[in-house]
Structure 1
Amino acid sequence: MLNIPEDLPSRRQRVYYCLSILLYSEVGFGAFKEVPWFHFEFYQQFQALRYAVEEINRSSELLPNHTLGFYAYDGCCVLRSELWGTLWMLTGLSQAIPNYCCQEIPPLVAIIGHSLSSHSILLAHILGLYKFPQISYYSTSSLLNDRIQFPSFFRTVPSDVFQSRGLAQLVVYFNWTWVGLLAVNDEYGNEATELIKQEIIKEGACIAYTIHISSNLVYKNLPSTVKIIKESSANVIIVFSVDTYLIPLLEEMLKQNITGKTLVASEAWSISTDLSVGKYSSILSGSIGFAFHSSEIQGFKDYLNSINLMTTPGIPWLQRLWEEIFGCRLSSMTNLTVKISNVDQPCTRDENLELVQNSYNDVSSLRSSYNIYTAVYVIAKALDDFSHCQPLDGPLTGGKCSDLRNIKPWQLLKYFYKVKVKMDNKRMVYFDKNGNPPAVYDIVNWQPRADGTMKQVKVGSYDVQYESGEIFSINTSLIWWATVNQKTPLSVCSESCPVGFKKVIKRGEPLCCFQCIPCAQGEISNQTDSFECWSCPWDTWPNNKRDRCFPKPTEFLSYNDPLGITMAATSSFSSVVPVFIFQLFIQYKSTPIVRANNFHVSCILLVSLSLCFLCALAFIGYPQPEKCLLRQAAFGLVFALCVSCILAKTIIVVFAFKATKPGSNLKKWTTPYVPYMIIVICTLIQFILCIFWLSVSPPFPQYNIEAKPGIIVVECNENSPFAFWCMLGYLGFLASVSFTVAFLARRLPDNFNEAKLITFSTLAFLSVWVYFIPASLSAQGTYTVSMEVFAILISSWALVACMFFPKCFIILFKPNMNSKENLMGKNINRKIMVKKDLSNVQSVLTFQYILLRFHDVEKELESR
């Protein structure tokens, strides 16, 4: 116990107020495996308390005319001792008696401590009954947020809720989606485990395993625990524990030679000096974690180095510090402390602390000491606010104020909730409704030193008060990783899915264990680890990686394509052939072979054939609305005209032969007007059908995105497939009738009828279009148009070749056969010799005469 120093500066109307601090082995001795040691950094925390009290007592702005004092108690991390010490300070007696206090002056107004959450929870239950303000500088358990159970508990460190949220963001920041969780089996570890699980799952990561290590240093299950860590595919382990409980685990990890694991540290061990030794560098190098925010205390280093063995409170602790630092023995310490092994050299008491550097006077990163320093200022500011109480705003009934001389601890609670202290580092300290300060953490990275030990380097921060709004920030260039080429460690259950793929969760596995499946045709994913693929707009198509949509290329039977050029050239050339034959027929118009084959109908047929070739051009080129509207109708009309001419020629041949028989009624149909009537009627039917089609359901251009993946086929939609097939079926009907009639008349005299030629031509015509039907139904895109153009050209060539090439051959190369005598005599004699039938001879002569008369009558009509 430390009494209030008697030499504190006197002030007018001075009143002493007492602060109590509970330190878990912070000041005195601790033991592990019966080896005593003294914590330099914990003694520094005690000096931070002294320094803050003395600063406030010297201040003229904070608590003027009042002096602060303190008690300090070392509980040695023993819960029973902590409880006894708390009751001792509450009662003021060496024998702790609950609900009794004989201490009158100075009044005890607040308690600072404990550091362990489990101990703070027990003390908070007791202090809450008395409404004693309690401020912890290291307890982070979220259980202490419960204001019903702990109405008087406050702390100058953030709750584990903030740490868990920040660590989860840290894990996700480095793309660690598969992590292990290791925690000490106490209130701190259990509560932190639940919080971090919730936050990690919320951030989209998964927990590979959860292991609770015993707070009992003799832990028999360590080998099996470490084996789980070794065999797991999780290369990152989040550890919630104090450094003391980690030592046995690290020893076992060294035995099993575990490497390649990266530890994420909670604030309880992230800056531990006991673990920073070179022995554990193979395991802990590259570790990263959260530490309480560090700050500077002006003049604190000089204050630490200026302590005096005779006048500094807590002389036994200071003497122990002195022996540890300088490796000597104070004669007065013989019965007070454990004798340092192999040290017999006496201390001169003139040793200078400025000449040594250790964790006691290292103020480069004050964390716990600064939290204690802040706690003292918070209490002082609450007392100062209490001293400036205004009527109707006081803590007593009716808003009355109280005097500091008669202050009761419960009267301060109201001012703790309202307190705001601006520290030297420009940060504002206050408490929220749960007694928590604004959360701020330093992100530290364990990096090796040249001597093999490790240092903790600040690489980022987690600050809810950050002005720019970036609560989480980290400088990756400062991080040292214990991996090849200093690359960020990888800790995933399944490799990340690249763009163009989507994740499919494996059945019975966590969300982080998945397989990557390529996006379907027409879909993309432009994010890694995407759960869904998105369809591209109708006019776009994915690239090869399926991560972006590009405009689809358009396709149609173009004049620039080789196929389009070939068909256009063929169509143009082919259209000239009927014109050439037409000129040849005009030139040899008076010859028997031209006259005997119905010259005018042949001319109409040749013109229609030329138009048939040319109508193929309407199917080549960009499908414009006008072209789509007329091309099928034009095709249907010119082919109807062409087939009608063939049908007329066929029927006239049959009529002429049948009319020669005695008593035939077909003589009246052997006039020159009959073929024209047949042509007009047959063509008119097709014309009416096309007009009805274009009026009711006209064709139109469309963009077909289903014909070919990734290509927009610009084509003409016939709009009414029924009308199209009716038009085509009508042509087939005309051709079928022509073929049937010509086939029946194929045995008529060879030289004077075209029955055989018509039979072959219509057979070829029908064959082409019968083949076109299944081919067009199976083809897609431009191939459908190409098939129709091909059918048009081939069927037209079939008619030209079969109908006119034999006659042109006779006209050009066999002129001796193009005579009336040859046509009439030679074949007549042959027929007579074969058939021996005079009546047939007469019929043949009459038939020949009728055919020739057709042309004579036509000639007379033209001359008129």
Structure 2
Amino acid sequence: MIFSIDEVNRSQRLLPNLTLGFQMYDSCSAEARALQGTMWILSGQQDPVPNYQCQPGQLVPAIIGDSLSATCLLMARVLGIYRYPQISYSAVVPTLSDKAQFPSFFRTIPSGNEVAFCIARLVLHFGWTWVGVLELENDYGQQGSQIIKSELAKHGRCIAFAEVLPLVYSQEKILRIVQAIRQSSARIIVVICTESLLIQVMEEISRQGISGRVWVANHSWSSSRSFSRREFAVTLGGTIGVAIRRGEMTEFRDHLFRLQPFGSPSDPITMAFWEHAFRCQWKIQSEGNGTMARSSQVGKELPICTGYESTRSLEETILDVDNFRFTYNVYNSVYAIAQALHNLIHCTPGEGPFAQATCSLFRDLKPWQLFHYLKRVRFLNKDGEEVYFDQNGNPPPVFDILNWQLDAAGNVHYVKVGGFDLTAPKGKDFTINETAIVWHGGHQQVPRSVCSNSCVPGFRRAARTGAPLCCFDCVPCSPGEITNQTDSSECFKCPESHWSNRRQDQCVPKTLEFLSVYENLGATLCVVAIFGCLVTLLILSIFIRHRNTPIVKANNRFLSYILLLALLLCFLSSVGFLDKPHTLTCKFRQVAFGTVFTVCVACILAKTLTVVIVFNASKPGSKMRVWVGPKLPNSIAMACSLLQILLCSIWLTGSPPYPQVNLKFNTERILLECNEGSPTAFWLMLGYLGILACVSFLMAFLARKLPDSFNETKYITFSMLLFVAVWLSFIPAYLSTQGKYMVAVEVFAILASSLGLLSCIFFPKCFVILLRPQMNSKGFLLGRKTDATSMRINRNRN
């Protein structure tokens, strides 16, 4: 402050014809003394008289200080009544920005709200979600920590613990705080505290050997040399913090290096500093009319100060010429007042808060007049930075980001790694060089501080009961749901046409499912169907080749041909089920299957009736001889088939089957299937077929013991027994399966029943034709018991 005032007085530009002086009053950080000093300045004497200036001509137009927020609050409340300008270089409590309570208060240090906001942004930038907080037990600490907690909570961060640092030393409270730090899993600890009160806690932490934490410092101690001692190196190495911006002040650095106590023999401040810095004491000696100095350490055995000690040899803890931060604020405070005085003296007549006659009369200056110009002051200092106050009396919120780095000798160095300029446009107000940061233990990687590890894609966060939001469990998404981001709070359901992949971090199209010839099951059924077709064609060719033999001609040769052709179509109709459903195949595959099987069963029924009619007609005097012949069996087969064709035609006309995509069949697959259109028509078709089969089985069973050397009804009985058994088993199997297996069950029933009919009815005849030709004779078929009537009947049968 003394240097700045001297510099202003030497300036030819600023206040050229005026000399600034100063008075100093030490509040000793006591609120009562600060209030007493304020009243003393206002009244002009040690025994203050409120509202009176007891020493006319003595002008103190502004006050710089105090450093503590608590003392500034009292001073500003009194000074604001008189609009007496006050500039603090260190008080950050946000309450002082309230112009309704403190109208004449200014400061060259940003508000604590802005400091806290920058600390919160720093925590958010590094992705720390689990943070501990130490706050001072006053408005300064509590308001700052509240802003930090609010900002972190707004972005989903959590407070692991919040401990209050006592204003009055308490060993019990300090031990409790240290224990909370030790037990917490939080590795990031934000500290809103002053240097003097924090050092007691840090000493206890260092004594207990607690390390591995990253401390986030506020401006009060982020650049403090009190913590640069080696005993704190292990504990505080890697600390990162927000600091008020540093000024270069090259001339002041040179001034400190040139400082000599003999240059100002009446300066008690320099003398006291010299004793403290060099740990010596002045020898009391007379010089002229008085003494040069009086030792402040009388009675202590210390070396005598010579006055020629070099300030360049002092440690940084005593004289830190590379860290002008609060010093820079004092410098700007002095120049702000000087600039305001300069503007007042050089005011434009007719403007300002007072008459133009007093515009240049400095001796009549009132503090409230200076207050008017101080509010509007704006200038560039020697570092080229703009100095001004906003509407709340605060300076531009500009901060440095410091990282505490250790050298090889274990000494702490404060390295600037970024900064905040809240006056800059959004996106440019925060800069940081992460590669320049050295964290605890010398690591370059950003440390992690989480209550729970992040949930990878495919998992969602599930909150723990009674725990903070940041403490959660990672629960896998349900089938069909995904998360494609880290730490998702919920899973998202895939569209109906998609399904979650194995890792459940992506929706993939569902697999199309239908019974295909390109898979094992479909290929097997297709091979069986082709085999049945080939066997049927082989039997048909055998029958055609031996068409004039008795065993082929027996029991209506024409119906045998029709039955073989129908069985051939049955095998072919099953292939229509082994493909991707299309409109044509869906529409006709069930109809084709039902029609050709009806023809098969109708032919079998007609052949059974033929045997019964012929046997009864062979009895003497039977009236059934008129029914003997091919007309009745053929008519029965045709009538039964036409009835099924009529039923299927109504089905196709009214509600035909159609292909559909079944998304609800399976969660992982899309079923391509044929919707039968009318389930009633489908089951009526099967029911009619079942009735014909049952009638055929019943008649064949009753006629199985009719005397004949080759009674075909025996084989028809076996074939229909197999047929009925297959289709009775088909019904529950069909209803209990889904998807392609339902289709496979129907195809299997078609093939099994077709093969059953083919083998039971035609294999015995082929055996006789090919391997027992001697049995393929009229005499053998009639069993040598033929009479004229039976011969006639046999001719009619043929």
Structures share a fold, TM > 0.5?
Answer: yes
Residue 225, structure 1, aligned to residue 184, structure 2: no
Residue 853, structure 1, aligned to residue 785, structure 2: no
Residue 54, structure 1, aligned to residue 7, structure 2: yes
Within 2, Cα distance between the matches of 1:279 and 1:714? Answer: 76
Residue 210, structure 1, aligned to residue 162, structure 2: yes
Alpha-carbon spacing, 1:524–1:341, altered in 2? closer, same or farther (3 Å): farther
Shift of 1:355: 5.7
Shift of 1:258: 2.5
Within 2, Cα distance between the matches of 1:146 and 1:552? Answer: 64
Alpha-carbon spacing, 1:658–1:286, altered in 2? closer, same or farther (3 Å): farther
Secondary structure of the equivalent of 2:225? coil
Within 1, Cα distance between the matches of 2:616 and 2:387? Answer: 122
Residue 508, structure 1, aligned to residue 508, structure 2: no
Per the alignment, residue 742 of structure 1 pairs with 700
Within 2, Cα distance between the matches of 1:713 and 1:391? Answer: 93
Per the alignment, residue 563 of structure 1 pairs with 521
Shift of 1:294: 2.3
Most deviating of 724-733 and 796-805? 724-733
Shift of 1:805: 0.8
Alpha-carbon spacing, 1:455–1:355, altered in 2? closer, same or farther (3 Å): closer
Shift of 1:401: 9.8
Question: Which segments of 5 or more consecutive residues in structure 2 lack a partner in the other structure?
Answer: 285-291
**2:556–2:630 Cα contact (<8 Å) kept:** no
Per the alignment, residue 493 of structure 1 pairs with 451
Amino acid at match of 2:149: K
**1:596–1:852 Cα contact (<8 Å) kept:** no
Within 2, Cα distance between the matches of 1:384 and 1:649? Answer: 131
Shift of 1:114: 2.3
Shift of 1:801: 1.1
Alpha-carbon spacing, 1:350–1:792, altered in 2? closer, same or farther (3 Å): same
Per the alignment, residue 346 of structure 1 pairs with 305
Q: Deviations over 1:660-699 (max 9, x none)?
A: 5678776555452333333333333333433343444443
**2:483–2:504 Cα contact (<8 Å) kept:** yes
Alpha-carbon spacing, 1:772–1:432, altered in 2? closer, same or farther (3 Å): farther
Per the alignment, residue 693 of structure 1 pairs with 651
Secondary structure of the equivalent of 1:73? coil
Most deviating of 266-275 and 90-99? 90-99
Most deviating of 717-726 and 634-643? 717-726
Most deviating of 301-310 and 514-523? 301-310
Within 2, Cα distance between the matches of 1:450 and 1:670? Answer: 122
Shift of 1:650: 2.7
Amino acid at match of 1:54: E
Question: Which segments of 5 or more consecutive residues in structure 1 lack a partner in the other structure?
Answer: 1-45, 830-840, 856-864
Structure 1 length-normalised TM: 0.83
**1:394–1:401 Cα contact (<8 Å) kept:** no
Secondary structure of the equivalent of 1:455? strand
Q: Deviations over 1:267-293 (max 9, x none)?
A: 211111112211122322222222222
**2:562–2:603 Cα contact (<8 Å) kept:** yes
Secondary structure of the equivalent of 1:462? strand
Secondary structure of the equivalent of 2:132? strand
Structure 2 length-normalised TM: 0.90
Residue 801, structure 1, aligned to residue 759, structure 2: yes
**Of 71, 82, 85, which aligns to 2:23?**
71
Shift of 1:67: 5.3
Amino acid at match of 2:796: R
Within 1, Cα distance between the matches of 2:310 and 2:187? Answer: 47
Shift of 1:509: 1.8
Per the alignment, residue 81 of structure 2 pairs with 129
Shift of 1:424: 5.4
Counterparts of 1:117-196 in structure 2, within 5 Å, are 117-196=69-148
Most deviating of 497-506 and 124-133? 124-133
Within 1, Cα distance between the matches of 2:358 and 2:620? Answer: 146
Per the alignment, residue 718 of structure 1 pairs with 676
Alpha-carbon spacing, 1:97–1:540, altered in 2? closer, same or farther (3 Å): same
Amino acid at match of 1:170: L
Residue 281, structure 1, aligned to residue 239, structure 2: no
Per the alignment, residue 755 of structure 1 pairs with 713
Tell me the number of residue pairs that the alignment of Structure 1 and Structure 2 aligns.
790
Per the alignment, residue 8 of structure 1 pairs with none
Amino acid at match of 2:695: V
**1:394–1:400 Cα contact (<8 Å) kept:** no
Within 2, Cα distance between the matches of 1:731 and 1:571? Answer: 21
Within 2, Cα distance between the matches of 1:738 and 1:388? Answer: 128
**Of 318, 335, 342, which aligns to 2:294?**
335
Per the alignment, residue 246 of structure 2 pairs with 294
Residue 607, structure 1, aligned to residue 565, structure 2: yes
Q: Deviations over 1:595-625 (max 9, x none)?
A: 1131111111111111111122222233333
Per the alignment, residue 43 of structure 1 pairs with none
Within 2, Cα distance between the matches of 1:51 and 1:731? Answer: 115
Amino acid at match of 2:145: T
Within 2, Cα distance between the matches of 1:648 and 1:75? Answer: 127
Per the alignment, residue 206 of structure 2 pairs with 254
Within 1, Cα distance between the matches of 2:514 and 2:37? Answer: 93
**Of 252, 265, 271, which aligns to 2:217?**
265
**2:708–2:782 Cα contact (<8 Å) kept:** no
Q: Deviations over 1:430-479 (max 9, x none)?
A: 44443333433222222223333322222232332345614444333222
Residue 534, structure 1, aligned to residue 492, structure 2: yes
Most deviating of 387-396 and 119-128? 387-396
Counterparts of 1:780-819 in structure 2, within 5 Å, are 780-819=738-777
Shift of 1:344: 2.0
Within 1, Cα distance between the matches of 2:713 and 2:686? Answer: 24
Alpha-carbon spacing, 1:335–1:382, altered in 2? closer, same or farther (3 Å): closer
Residue 323, structure 1, aligned to residue 275, structure 2: yes
**2:628–2:796 Cα contact (<8 Å) kept:** no
Q: Deviations over 1:315-349 (max 9, x none)?
A: 111122233444544335763522595432331x3
